[in-house]
Amino acid sequence: MSLRWSPKATHTVSAIGLGALLLASAAKHFRTPAFYYPVVPDYLCRRDEPGSRPNGPLAVMSREEWVASSGLLEVAAAVGLLVPATRKVAADATTAMFTAFLAGHIDALRRAYGPKGTPAERRIHTVRLPLQIPLILWSWSLRK
């Protein structure tokens, strides 16, 4: 008996793989949210201290709320990828989400190489930013 691996099976396994990765990442958002804090740009974060000036028109949530929201988005993306009927729409949304996350990774890298950055932050963010590209391409490939 020969085993035949179809393109559809490959596509399904790929969607399951990305869905599992997104669920693991979402769980980490809630277990250790501080891991994601550096990737949330300051211009998106509301300042909650009394008498502080807002960061700008995009500063509608705190850093903690942004991390929790992105964790929830990852759960929704994972579920969408795991359901064949919603996979194409979820793949589009996941691609857009990973592309939007690039801004945070670029900002974190910029800060890591700034005057307050540490060697550890430089290493982490130098590796973290390029990892977004395969994630974007992977989610884009699931649009078929």
Cβ pair 14, 144 in contact under 8 A: no
Cβ pair 112, 121 in contact under 8 A: yes
Full-model pTM? 0.86
Please state which of the ranges 13-17, 49-53, 61-65, 78-82 shows the lowest mean pLDDT: 49-53
Separation of alpha carbons 52 and 76, rounded Å: 34
DSSP 8-state symbol, 46:
P
For residue 103, name the pLDDT band (cuts at 50, 70, 90): very high
Q: What is the mean pLDDT of the chain?
A: 91
Separation of alpha carbons 17 and 139, rounded Å: 11
Q: How many CB atoms lie within 10 A of CB 26?
A: 20
What residues does each domain of the chain span?
7-141
pLDDT at 36: 93
11 CB burial (10 A radius; 0-12, 13-18, 19+)? middle
Mean pLDDT value of segment 67-87: 97
